[in-house]
Amino acid sequence: MCAPCTYRELVELCQYLYMSFELENSLSKCYNIIRFLHSMEEDGILVSEEKTIEGKVRKYYSLTAKGEEVLNEVKTKTRGLSEEIME
């Protein structure tokens, strides 16, 4: 398992994946964040681990190797878009 990702990395990944889906598909997949995280898990981008803390089950997500590749792609595209805007 890879190191846990930061909230910002998850947001960047969600934004990229949201933009990547067709509108109909993205609306159904992004109905709420939990559903979206499950979708990314099914796509092999995230893996989850459940831990019981103070009697409550909590789910922790980490990027897979595929997720790291997608995140790097997001960063590259974001950098490119930023450069275009700043020109």
What is the number of residues in the chain?
Answer: 87
Say if residues 9 and 72 touch (Cβ distance below 8 Å): no
Give residue 13's pLDDT band: very low, low, confident or very high (50, 70, 90): confident
Q: Which SS3 state, helix, strand or coil, does residue 50 take? A: strand
pLDDT value of position 19: 65
Q: Which CATH class is domain 7-86?
A: mainly alpha
In angstroms, the CA 74 to CA 56 distance is 33
pLDDT value of position 22: 52
pLDDT digits (tens, 9 = 90+) for 49-82: 998 989 998 888 888 999 999 888 888 888 877 7
